[in-house]
Amino acid sequence: MRDTRYMFLVLLSSLLMLTGCSRRDILDDYPVSGVEISLDWDGVTDKLPEGVRVIFYPKDGEGKKVDRYLSVRGGEMKVPPGRYSVVAYNYNTEYVRIRGEESYETIEAYTGHCNGLGIAGIEEMVWSPDSLYVLNIDELNIKKSEEVLYLAWKLKSVVKKYSFAVEVKGLEYVTSIVGCIRGLSDCYRVGKGDGVSSSQPIYFEVKKDGNKVVAYFTAFKQAKEMSEPTRGPISRSTTSSDMGD
């Protein structure tokens, strides 16, 4: 009977040791309270997107990549301590797609090709981008703490609207019109904060208005059209990037 009781106590002690090690590993890898992100849309848009995707990219191997979808107002994330580059953008877009998301340097927004809408001499065109709001932070230090780290962010629109009207004679004999434009940004480097042109023409629809041809279309903004991000203090002695128009 004594031997049986001794074996039971040894097994119980072993289980407690394993449980303790597992819990210590979790606490070593993750902040106790996580990161609370608050998104401010005041002055950005009146038509709020469905939600946002936030990606923490570790710098110099410090930390771990964290990728999560949050509500339009933000939410809490568990991020291991380390140095990070961060991107955030709305994900409920009709035409905008994301590629190169394996790193902060390569993540890029673009639009797909317009199939079946070719113009004579032009085989491939891409759609105009719909509304895209982005935030990028080159470096953010997450320290291990038992307190919640609060981050207040404001995303910025990276899509610009264009329009033109041209007076045309004989327009009454025209049944349909389509157009495209080259030289504007058809891609946007999310991490670098810069619209670029890949020489693909952007398709747009054209409407008749009396004796005028009227067109509305969009393109990604270039770096010179984006204001510099501002950095300011937030609660609990941490910093964030607020990006305004």
Three-class SS state of 164: strand
| Helices and strands (H and E) in the chain: how many | 1, 18
pLDDT digit string (tens) for 48-80?
Answer: 999 999 999 999 887 889 999 999 999 999 999
Q: How many CA atoms lie within 13 Å of 180's alpha carbon, on the beta-carbon side?
A: 20
Strand-strand pairing, 35-39 and 149-153? parallel
pLDDT bin (cut points 50, 70, 90) of residue 90 is very high
Encoded tokens for 44:
């950005």
Greatest CA separation for the chain = 107
pLDDT of residue 230 exceeding 70: no
pLDDT bin (cut points 50, 70, 90) of residue 116 is low
pLDDT bin (cut points 50, 70, 90) of residue 34 is confident
The per-residue pLDDT for 75 is 96
pLDDT digit string (tens) for 147-197?
Answer: 889 999 999 999 999 999 988 888 877 777 778 898 999 999 999 999 999
Stretch among 23-27, 126-130, 220-224 having the lowest mean pLDDT: 23-27
Q: What is the mean pLDDT of residues 129-146?
A: 94
In sequence order, the β-bridge partners of residue 98 are 109
For the entire predicted model, the pTM comes to 0.77
Closest CA to 141 of 35, 28, 32: 35
The per-residue pLDDT for 102 is 95
Closest CA to 245 of 228, 222, 223: 228
Q: What is the mean pLDDT of the chain?
A: 80
